Structure 1
Amino acid sequence: MLIGHQSWEFRNRPVILGTATVVGPDEGEGPLGNEFDIVHADAILGQDSWEKAEKKMLEEAAKLAVENAGLTKEKIEFYVGGDLINQIISNSFAVRTMQIPYLGIFGACSTSMEGLAIASMIVDGGYAKHTMAGTCSHNSTAEKQFRYPTEYGSQKPPTAQYTVTGAGVAVIGKHGRGPVVTGATIGRVIDMGIKDPFNMGAAMAPAAVDTLQSHFRDFDRQPEYYDLIVTGDLAEVGYGIARELLKKHRVPIEQTTYKDCGLMIYDLEKQKSLVQAGGSGCGCSATVTYGHLLKRLAKGELKRILVVATGALLSPLSFQQGESIPCIAHAVAIESGE
């Protein structure tokens, strides 16, 4: 049901029955490497293009998530997902293989939580017993589309982020065992006039803060309600800006409570020369949430988490025409099912 101005409360508490994560070699070498289901040693996955490699990761994650949920793909009634490639072809081509009714979405790097929110809403409303939400990204496909092909070897500024090569999928059900999705806050488009595609963190931080404020207002909650709050992929630059904005707006979030997936997935000391300011991409919040955070919920280390995935809604065309970067953030509240 609608709560406040822009949030949904899921009173039937849809259950995350199973998840799966697939990542590339750089993500496997990060601090969360042991928590992903599949770590590929080669980012091209034996395919003849980066785009096909990205699609294969998503297919692998979807197949494994269904198995981990104890279901067959015939039991999945709807799939909700998207990615960064033009016309979200990684998801569209992967679902062509899966043959599951499909809702394609585009939220840039916020797609993971946008998809989880919609898939949960479908189940909560009684329109399906089982749904699936998935997303993916690949460093080389994103670089080729939004900046420069990897082979070009261009120099990047310290504010640049490294697109995660990874896919994350969750299966949501009406009944069962697992963490539950209790609510979501749908973000507004926020544009502060930033035009630099190498400074995504700064562009997205205000959208993350706006959604956080809206979530706390709509649900009449304080940040301490959650054991952990994570933003999607603000990385080093955006995370610092977000913390300053939260302080300015008197939102009392402690550093121990608030983390960022873009800082969690890589070791910035050991991998700094590769990842610059940290991680980004649709696969960033998806793999950290489904591969790490839900495991902490299962172990009882966390009881309530809020995941705020952030996205920069630019395109190569809008950048070439000198447009600024509109951004968005979607928040999903997940709690232990115990």
Structure 2
Amino acid sequence: MRAARFDRYGPAEVIRIEERAVPEVGDSDVLVRVDASAVGVTDAVSRSGTPWFARLFFGLRRPKYPLLGTEFAGTVERVGPGVTRFAPGDRVFGAAEVGAGATAEYVVVGEHAAVAHAPDGLDAAHAVATVDGFLTALPFLRDAGEVRPRQSVLVNGASGTVGSAAVQLAKHLGASVTAVTSGPNAELVRSLGADRVIDYTRQDFTTERDAYDVIFDAVGKRSFGACRRALTAHGIYLTTVPTGAIMLQTPWTRLFRGGRRAAIAFTGLRDSRTKGVELEQLAALVESGAFVPVVDRILPLDELVAAHRRVEGGHKVGSVVIAITDAAGPADASAADAATADDSREANGAPA
């Protein structure tokens, strides 16, 4: 089978596509023929080895996990003799463990790992585009932020993979949502459910005062210090980027201050069984029209280097998807796909 690999840290050009043996299937394993994978920030970080603290997990001097890709969507090819949840021919989507190598023609995952039956009505490319953003945004908003109905939530970086998922989830949780993005993406985030849109090229949301119960910086561009006064008296600031400052501010503001506080969630370290349950919830949300995928573009496996460059460029809208097979979905799809989000939501009775 063809699989993506890198043997040293560096730019996107260190990636190569090589031939490997199809993985063996254990008693409780599922072998998935991958139709589509996704390239996320974690893939780019693991390949580049930057920022420096990422190497504490990915390997200090050389990559500990040389096979690329975690998110996948495809069809079950074989199952181990102890598997009861899945059968050959089932359409599935999920997130493999780091190093399993989901950007490949086949990947093995545990039956009770982060894998679930794919949502009806989505091709593989659009199914895989929902995974990373949802599995990241959900624990941030639901667990760390404790978002509740009638709260005010601001999402910075609202058109990215995590941000677009956060807008939809915050709305689903009953919050009033303010989305921060650039002007060209304003209609996209409105279609995802944002009640208000701020164009960051024209307005700085941090100049507001006592405005938001939760500020979720999905791109790690604004600090707790910059956002603090925009929070309500007991508001919480969340960020996806584990800087030294946030690592100190999280325990300090929780233990020694009774007002505004900061928090980070290490979503990649959560139990894979929990993620599997959440993927089942995601499938139900997609099928009800309450959650829609946002696809930046779909590229073939041979253009994986270009996909990594796109992710590192910081201007993608939604997920960059890699088509492993023709069954992934139409090529050259873009974020314009999400322009139909309003129609999908209205047709299913969901709020636009």
TM over 0.5: no
Q: TM-score normalised to the size of structure 1?
A: 0.28
Give 1 or 2 for the bigger CA radius of gyration: 2
Query: RCO (CA 8 Å, sep 6+): is it higher in 1 or 2?
Result: 1
